[in-house]
Amino acid sequence: MISSWKNPLPVESYSTAKVVIYFYNNNQWVPIKYCYLLKAVELYRNAKTILDKEIFLFPPDLDPNIFPH
């Protein structure tokens, strides 16, 4: 997925919110790890620039696998 949208750094009050990092593979969302939002944004940028891969961030109480594809 190519997007011109740039993700800004989260405001300070949300930077320590926990998120789950997911990777989409074989029609399934695969959870990679839990971490804080600020760290997740850093990992997202590194994955995009260094590996040319895209990861997705979701709140810990949301499982993207339960939604229809």
- pLDDT tens profile 39-69: 998 898 899 899 998 899 999 999 999 976 5
Domain-located, residue 2: no
Domain-located, residue 54: yes
Total number of domains in the chain? 1
Instruction: Answer for the pair 7, 44: CB distance below 8 angstroms, yes or no.
Output: yes
On whether the pTM is more than 0.85, the answer is no
**Which range of residues forms the domain containing residue 42?**
14-66
How many angstroms separate the CA atoms of 44 and 30, rounded?
A: 15
Over the stretch 3-48, which tens digit does the pLDDT of each residue have?
A: 555 656 566 777 788 999 999 999 899 999 999 988 998 898 899 8
Residue 4 sits at φ, ψ, to 5 deg, of -90, -5
Domain-located, residue 40: yes
Give residues with Cβ within 8 angstroms of 64, minimum separation 6.
Answer: 22, 29, 56, 58
Amino acid letter, 9: L
Instruction: Answer for the pair 23, 32: CB distance below 8 angstroms, yes or no.
Output: yes
Q: Is the pLDDT of residue 2 over 70?
A: no
